[in-house]
Structure 1
Amino acid sequence: MGPRVWLLAGAALVATPAASPAWGEDLRSALIAAYNTNPTLQAARANQRATDEDVAIQKAPGRPSITGQATHTEFVRQSGNNFTAPDRNLNAQLSLSVPIYSGGSVRNGVKAAETRVEAGQADLRGTESSVFSQVVGAYMDVILNEAVVGLNRNNVQVLEVNLQATSDRFEIGDLTRTDVAQSQSRLALARGDARTAEANLVEARERYIRLVGLTPGLLDAPPPLPGLPASPDEAVTVAIDNNPNLVAAHERRKAAGYDVKVAGSGRLPTLSAFGQGAYNDYYGTLGGSLGGVQTFAQNETTAQVGLRASIPIFQGGRPAAQRRQAQAREGAAMEQEIEVERGVIAQVRSAYSSWQASNEIIASTQSAVDAAGLSLEGVRAENSVGNRTIIDILDAEQELLRARVQLVTARRNAYVAGFSLLAAMGQAEAQDLGLEGGPLYDPETNYKRVRGKWFDWDDDRAPKPQSTRTVDTPPQDGEIRGSEATTIQSTNTSAPGGQ
């Protein structure tokens, strides 16, 4: 079972933005909304369409060209010795040029452009994966911060009850004012921590809106992540073949090789066929009559055809400099490919390590939560018989809160690290995640549409924004939606190699 099945089910993906419920959504619906309306992803698609046009641009110099020109001339002052000079003239010319051989510049330029289209499509995959990773992080951050808000509010309530009990015991002389002051201090700090948690929740929700374009409602716990690798070596092997950034770097290196050939073609001969026709009309004003009879035609038509060869002999060293420059850039592209490969390997190994570490932290922190809970019960019991002080109870409550926050944080980190690992392996895109409930954006469709276009006036319609604005979304607050404070505690990732 691959990672593509983990989000199948639920609402179908649509090609245009659709209304989504304001309350109650899952991770799949958030990813679909981002896929259709995120401005970063929409801009990347538009830039890729611009890259597609480079193929047609590079093909143009190898195609026939036709040029027309018309000139009307008024001869306002003539030489007194020129008896045939006309008063006015209309000249129209039509020229046709057909390239036959260009030294390989057109052929290699087209290959370079086609290769850069493939690189751009890989970049688009990388952008899609990056946006999805950010959406997953934002989704989990909302759940995490809601859980933290809930834990802190619960802690405030516990400390309020504790302060009231401490005050009652102080009134009967069972405790001292110091005990009351300690309880008041912890309660004040807890309220401050709760307010900070609420502010963090607002920030997380606003980031979610920025990425997804919708207000987060009652977020469901995300599904487990299947298809995670059993070892870092397995992850690296998959990433070397599939990571979009590495694929793009490889294609750019190939394109740089074609650029070297294009630069070298400047030293080679070129051959083209040409044809030209001209029409002149003197409007009956051309002089030179004999006995009242015009001796010159008042209009004429001419035509020529031929072959034109251009043989560079000396260009001041420019072609060699251009080729050396292209070779240097090819060398830079080679080094950049290795740099990207290094980065991918480091990213995959780091993500794998973070994912494993987070899973181990979950196990150890769960033990800490269980132990802290037992410790708090014991301290309270011992306090009731006079063996523990109020500060011991406060410390035990603080320890339990800290362990619970660390647990929900570890669960969030494990999920995000697991998804980041899939992204680095090139397995976190729309097709991988099962978002094919409707038509997905296919960059190849536009490329096939434009690569063979010839007509000079074959324009597209004026572009319109595809992403949605968020100016109408309400400002977020620190309130939690239902029982999200506990949903993250049931979230887990699969074990290594899990299905």
Structure 2
Amino acid sequence: MRNTMKLSAIAILVAALSACAVGPDYQAPVKVADISIDAPYQQAELAQSWWQAFDDAALNRLITRALQENRSLVQARANVERAYAVFRDANNDLLPKGTLNTGYQAGENGTVSAADDGVISRGYSTGASLSWDLDLFGKIRRATEAAQAQAEQADILWHDAQVQLISQVATSYGEYRGAQLRLVVAEQNLQNLTQSRAIVLARLEAGMASELELAQIEAQLHQVQAMVPAYRVALLTADATLSALLAQHPGQLKLGAVPHLPELKQPVAMVEGANYLRYRADVASSERALAASTAQIGVATADLYPNLSVRGFLGFISGPGLALNGDTQSWSVAPTLSWQAADLGSVKARIRQAQASSQIALAQFEQQVFNAINEMQLSLQSYNLSREQQLSTELQWQASNKAVQIARDRYNAGTGEFLDLLDAERELLRARDQLAQLQQQSFSRLVGIYRSFGGGIQLI
């Protein structure tokens, strides 16, 4: 009875000690300066489908293939699986461990005694070896907390990798279509300049124009021709980038020769008062890194206290006859109490290291919040300004086109100056090429809005 009470008391004491864990309990930040961040991370469903609002079959096909084939995404997914395997391994440390062993041992002169000279001993052992580290002060539990936070961080980063990949594909697709568009614009301008050259040549043959006028129009014609290779390089670059993202060889995209930059049928909508930080994977990832760093403080602090472990064996030990029966049955229990009492200076140094790492993680998290807020704001403003610039340039191009028609008609009729036609042609070229660049820029900045808001933006 007395032994039973002692064992019960010991069990209660161990359970009580095991219920505590040294080190700070983690509390997720709810505010940085005047920015509320208390909303938990939420993977936006729109992040996996927002590009479909452009209703562009080629873009849909590219993104679908990229999500299936991109090797960086495969790495990110494998990293998640590895991180959760580490977490499960750490979590299993809370339970007793056991191994099944069987072995054979032979030796001669086992002792220095003269009676053992020339004596050969042989023996067999079979059984189970058990070990259990009693987590009295929560070292294993804190390590498990850290591993779980790191696994969750890897999962968040995998989702972020998908958002980044989709954005990269969409941006590169815009660059591809933009290069195509600039090529078409250059070809149209070459046609216009060729027509103007024909007019100058006809007037020259009629004695109504000079060699200087012909040289000037030809110089402008060659200037446009010299720009074409640069557009082709941009097209090849976009093709190579897209091919790499889709894990395929260049030249296999087959996107068609008709340039068309995707446009939204509906405007982007902002929900007033919504906390879009909850869609930012980088913010959530930094918060999980902070949680892991906080747990590591507890891991280091636990070394200030003793560690209790139990080792045991249950099985059979026999001689050469290999008899497994009650006479050869063997068992052992070996509790061990260890304490780094002579090395507490190093333990305290590791605690300070863990605390400093946690402070670094907190500062990184806070900075990430500020970066996210400013990036979201900048993406919206940049897109709005780009759209304003694009609309103004469209009006400029329309006016330039009209000016060229008037100048060409007047020059052809002999009532206009050649320099007026030349200036009008040059302005039309510049305006149309700038419009093509701005169309691509507006698309890229629209993609940037989705990326900076983690895919959480909606359409109205």
Please confirm whether the aligned pair reaches a TM-score higher than 0.5, indicating the same fold.
yes
Q: Note if contact 2:411-2:418 (Cα within 8 Å) is conserved in structure 1.
A: yes
- String of CA shifts for 1:261-291, please: whole Å, max 9, x gaps: 111111222233332246544437xxxxxxx
Q: Percent identity?
A: 20
1:244–1:78: structure 2 CA closer, same or farther, 3 Å change rule? Answer: closer
Give the one of 221, 224, 246 matched to 2:264: 224
Give me the whole-angstrom Cα distance separating, in 2, the residues matched to 1:304 and 1:225: 77
Counting only pairs closer than 5 Å after superposition, residues 250-269 of structure 1 correspond to structure 2 as 250-269=287-306
Give the one of 356, 366, 377 matched to 1:349: 377
Greater displacement, 179-188 / 327-336? 179-188
Counting only pairs closer than 5 Å after superposition, residues 391-402 of structure 1 correspond to structure 2 as 391-402=419-430
1:134–1:329: structure 2 CA closer, same or farther, 3 Å change rule? Answer: same
Which amino acid in 2 is paired with 1:375? A
- SS of residue in 1 equivalent to 2:336: strand
Give me the whole-angstrom Cα distance separating, in 2, the residues matched to 1:9 and 1:376: 37
Q: Note if contact 1:26-1:221 (Cα within 8 Å) is conserved in structure 2.
A: no
1:374 maps onto 2:402 in alignment? yes
Which amino acid in 2 is paired with 1:240? L
Is there any run of 5+ residues in structure 2 with no aligned partner, and where? 1-44, 322-326
Counting only pairs closer than 5 Å after superposition, residues 283-432 of structure 1 correspond to structure 2 as 283=320, 300-427=328-455
Q: Note if contact 1:78-1:85 (Cα within 8 Å) is conserved in structure 2.
A: no
How many pairs are equivalent?
A: 404
Offset, 1:42: 1.5
Which amino acid in 1 is paired with 2:203? R
Offset, 1:302: 2.9
- SS of residue in 2 equivalent to 1:26: helix
Offset, 1:243: 0.7
Q: Note if contact 2:76-2:154 (Cα within 8 Å) is conserved in structure 1.
A: no
Offset, 1:331: 0.1
- SS of residue in 1 equivalent to 2:397: helix
Partner of 2:95: 63
Give me the whole-angstrom Cα distance separating, in 2, the residues matched to 1:182 and 1:133: 44
- String of CA shifts for 1:278-317, please: whole Å, max 9, x gaps: 6544437xxxxxxxxxxxxxx9543223533334433241
Give the one of 105, 120, 126 matched to 1:87: 120
- String of CA shifts for 1:11-43, please: whole Å, max 9, x gaps: 9xxxxxxxxxxxx94222211111111112111
Give me the whole-angstrom Cα distance separating, in 1, the residues matched to 2:103 and 2:359: 49
More helix by share: 2
Which amino acid in 2 is paired with 1:382? R
Q: Note if contact 2:58-2:255 (Cα within 8 Å) is conserved in structure 1.
A: no
1:215 maps onto 2:248 in alignment? no
Give the one of 231, 238, 241 matched to 2:278: 241
Give the one of 108, 116, 120 matched to 1:75: 108
Q: Note if contact 1:75-1:87 (Cα within 8 Å) is conserved in structure 2.
A: yes
- String of CA shifts for 1:58-93, please: whole Å, max 9, x gaps: 123322222436342231798783069742312426
- SS of residue in 2 equivalent to 1:308: strand
Give me the whole-angstrom Cα distance separating, in 1, the residues matched to 2:266 and 2:350: 51
Partner of 1:287: none
1:191 maps onto 2:225 in alignment? yes
1:80–1:414: structure 2 CA closer, same or farther, 3 Å change rule? Answer: closer
Which amino acid in 2 is paired with 1:43? Q
Give the one of 67, 73, 78 matched to 1:46: 78
- SS of residue in 2 equivalent to 1:180: helix
Give me the whole-angstrom Cα distance separating, in 2, the residues matched to 1:202 and 1:78: 81
Partner of 2:60: 28
Greater displacement, 76-85 / 118-127? 76-85
Q: Could you state the TM-score of these two structures normalised by the residue count of structure 2?
A: 0.79
Offset, 1:386: 3.8
Partner of 1:469: none
1:302–1:230: structure 2 CA closer, same or farther, 3 Å change rule? Answer: closer
- SS of residue in 2 equivalent to 1:53: helix
| Aligned-CA RMSD value | 3.1
Q: Note if contact 1:362-1:410 (Cα within 8 Å) is conserved in structure 2.
A: yes
Greater displacement, 392-401 / 209-218? 209-218
Q: Could you state the TM-score of these two structures normalised by the residue count of structure 1?
A: 0.73
Which amino acid in 2 is paired with 1:89? R
- String of CA shifts for 1:74-128, please: whole Å, max 9, x gaps: 3179878306974231242642112333420111111111112222222112211
Partner of 1:203: 237
Which amino acid in 2 is paired with 1:310? S
Offset, 1:318: 1.8
Give me the whole-angstrom Cα distance separating, in 1, the residues matched to 2:192 and 2:444: 32
1:87–1:256: structure 2 CA closer, same or farther, 3 Å change rule? Answer: same
Q: Note if contact 1:238-1:425 (Cα within 8 Å) is conserved in structure 2.
A: no
Is there any run of 5+ residues in structure 1 with no aligned partner, and where? 12-23, 285-298, 433-496
Offset, 1:130: 1.1
Q: Note if contact 1:205-1:216 (Cα within 8 Å) is conserved in structure 2.
A: no
Greater RCO, 1 or 2 (C-alpha within 8 Å, sep 6+): 1
- SS of residue in 2 equivalent to 1:245: helix
